[in-house]
Structure 1
Amino acid sequence: MTSATVTLLGAADASRPLGWRARLIEFLLVGGATLVLFPLAWLLRNTVGLDPAELAVGFLTFHAATVINDPHFAVTYLLFYKDARRRALGGDLAPAQRARYIAAGLLVPLALLAWAGAALATGSARIMGWMIQLMFFLVGWHYVKQGFGILTVLSARRGHRFSPTERRAILAHCFAAWAYAWASPADPGREVSEKGVIYTSIAHPPGLELATGIAFGVSAIALLWALGRRWRAERRPPPIEPLAGFFITVWLWTVYSSLDRLMVYMIPALHSVQYLYFVWLLRRNEAREAEGPPTFGKPTAQRLAVLAASAVALGWLLLRGVPAFLDGALMMRASGREAIAGLGETPYLAAIYVFVNIHHYFMDSVIWRRDNPDTRYLLHSL
């Protein structure tokens, strides 16, 4: 979810007040479960020891990814390429949004395909390593933008809108967090491995870590000041659950994600659940509208079931089935093994995994903008 989503929230909020049970469930889905999992991770580690706990959590999250993480990537393709021709070439959208659809839907995947193809053709871990590092660089951008969207959309559903000054303070904190998360910890450049590819990381000098850390701290103070000023003026705070979800996303998932080794395995799943909640919210409200006149479409439950099954199936194909088939076929050919020996035993898994991640970030930045008419469903009544 992108920062531009909030601008659509000038429309009247038609949602009904949430009951406490619904608010609790929503809070857990958009990040609150993190606060439950931290003590559970500590308890597990202290009960069985770090190594067995890490093995168990790693095993669980690896297999749970089939129905959580992988569908979260796949559903982006289903949302983005639905009526893609009309969106990119028709007159329904503003010219800038049509250009974004063309860039994210055609130019970005072609560039990534050429990049990954060059690495595979030459067996270059260095070329693939640069692509992997782009993925890690952009993931912080993706996380903080989603955190911003969570805060602004859920706040608007509760009747609270942020002023331009508050918006700027929130965005500044998001981007400062992204910079600090990427620059920290300091790294002189070392050999690391990702999906079997061994490459040398980009150096992060201590000075960069210090500078971005200061910017992060200053932005936090500015944000708290902006929110506090509004609180003093209106005698009521911003909605607590969206604000907590925002800080969990930015602080615990992005900046301080390594606080607990077991939580490192869980954060991608928590992020995916947060994303899938908003996909559900969007498509459920759209389906409910389509049930009535004049279209009288399929029942909401049927539409959502088809979307969920399609996301699970496509996610398995993209990140499990196709990479396993290609890597297996390649390993059976001696010439193929020699050609890309520098990329390890699962080069296609590495290439497809990185491709899908980066492409997901760009598609996501288009889907959730106010220029996309579908985003109006985020504010529909529960």
Structure 2
Amino acid sequence: MALHLSADAPASVATAPQKYLFGPIADFFLLGGSAFLILPILFLVPLEYEGLVAAAMLLLAHLINHPHFAHSYQIFYRNFGRKVRGDGYDKNLQVRYIFAGIVVPLIMGGFFAYGSIAGNARLLGYAGNAMAFFVGWHYVKQGYGMLMVDAVLKRKFFNEQDKKVLLFNGYAVWLFAWLQTNAVITERRFWGLDYYTFAAPSWLTNIAALAAAASTAATVVMLVNRWRKHGGALPYNGVVAYVVTLYAWILFVKINPLWLLVVPALHSLQYLAVVWRYQTNVERDRSDAVRAPEFKILSIVGPMYRLRVLGFIIIGGILGILGFWLVPIALSALVPYNKEVLGSSLFLFIAWIFINVHHYFLDNVMWRRGNPEVSKYLFR
């Protein structure tokens, strides 16, 4: 999620009432502040309980992580025919919708089909590297996007130069972290298939480290200058989201083994905060939004718009279970392939990587500046 929004607002706009996704405290914890609470606790977990905590964290990650992927499909492919025709969308956005929604899945589907039919485990293993690459990139874009969202809600806009500093720092930190994971050639396994990291030259990693350090310093200076210039005012929850995403979730994610299991859930929670706010505004825009449900038993949920948002969340959970587990497990059992070469969980491997990588392309279109739906529903 990356929103590239307008430059500094005039003084009259800056005095407008501040808005939140759900409230100042809720936004702090949902957008990333919960890391300051959870990470110290994980360091205090006794060694004998680490396995139990790890299982609980992994289950929580799945319960939150999978619906967040499903929601991106629900939003992206809603009224997809209108988006493909360009009805209400400019030409650039229309092309992006077609590419991300049709071309990318066809290319990925062709890649996985060829690798599976040919029984080429090494070729399929390259997809594991691609997922690691795009997931880190996606985290950076989402952390930056959360800062931009909060800046708009608080009417504390960043100018183009400041946004370039933020983006450069995000990419520099991500690239350094990614190169660190490729410091030596290592074999890794994902759902029964092996893939390999590559040995990045030490000089390249050192340059990336210097760039990350320099851009971090530049970002700190920029934020301090803005804080002074605007009388101590910053979109603080957005800044927390940006900082936590880059440093706690990407650069120092290996600081604790349990932290590795928690980060996907926190990343998804950050995303869900925006998506649920967005979907709530979509449902509130309907003519019967405040009408009571026909069945009295459903009135405990509230008016129709709340019931529809709940339905959206439930459908996301069902799609997540289907996409990540039930469908690939069924395909692995029913579709014949060379299990001696490709393992017993080929379709789990394909489904998990396909959804993770495709999710990046979907978000890169949906949450762009100029998307009329974002302008209409996200910042109400």
- Length-normalised TM-score, structure 1: 0.89
Q: 2: distance between equivalents of 1:15 and 1:41?
A: 40
Corresponding residue for residue 201 of structure 2: 205
Q: How many residues align?
A: 367
1:165-176 equivalences under 5 Å are 165-176=161-172
Q: 1: distance between equivalents of 2:105 and 2:230?
A: 47
Unaligned residue ranges in structure 2 (runs of 5+):
294-302
1:127-138 equivalences under 5 Å are 127-138=123-134
Corresponding residue for residue 148 of structure 1: 144
Among residues 312, 329, 333, which one is paired with 1:328 in the alignment? 333
Does the C-alpha gap of structure 1 residues 107 and 186 become closer, same or farther in structure 2, counting only changes over 3 Å?
closer
Corresponding residue for residue 313 of structure 1: 318
Unaligned residue ranges in structure 1 (runs of 5+):
331-335
Contact 1:282–1:374 under 8 Å retained in 2? no
Among residues 189, 214, 221, which one is paired with 2:217 in the alignment? 221
Corresponding residue for residue 274 of structure 2: 278
For the aligned residue pairs, the C-alpha RMSD in angstroms reads 2.6
Among residues 97, 101, 119, which one is paired with 2:97 in the alignment? 101
Contact 1:187–1:205 under 8 Å retained in 2? yes
Shift of 1:22: 2.5
Among residues 149, 174, 181, which one is paired with 1:178 in the alignment? 174
Deviant stretches of 4+, over 3 Å: 7-19, 295-298
Does the C-alpha gap of structure 1 residues 312 and 16 become closer, same or farther in structure 2, counting only changes over 3 Å?
farther
Q: Do structure 1's residue 159 and structure 2's residue 125 form an aligned pair?
A: no
Contact 1:2–1:145 under 8 Å retained in 2? yes
Counterpart residue identity of residue 30, structure 1: L
Q: 2: distance between equivalents of 1:370 and 1:291?
A: 27
Deviation readout 1:42-69 (Å, 9 max, x if unpaired): 111xx244xx40x223322333344311
Counterpart residue identity of residue 27, structure 1: F
Q: Do structure 1's residue 29 and structure 2's residue 25 form an aligned pair?
A: no
- Length-normalised TM-score, structure 2: 0.90
Q: 2: distance between equivalents of 1:8 and 1:67?
A: 38
Corresponding residue for residue 345 of structure 2: 346
Q: 2: distance between equivalents of 1:101 and 1:215?
A: 34
Corresponding residue for residue 366 of structure 2: 367
Q: 1: distance between equivalents of 2:314 and 2:286?
A: 20
Corresponding residue for residue 40 of structure 1: 41
Deviation readout 1:133-156 (Å, 9 max, x if unpaired): 111111111001100111111122
Among residues 238, 244, 254, which one is paired with 1:242 in the alignment? 238
Contact 2:129–2:196 under 8 Å retained in 1? no
Q: 1: distance between equivalents of 2:317 and 2:14?
A: 32
Q: 1: distance between equivalents of 2:252 and 2:29?
A: 19
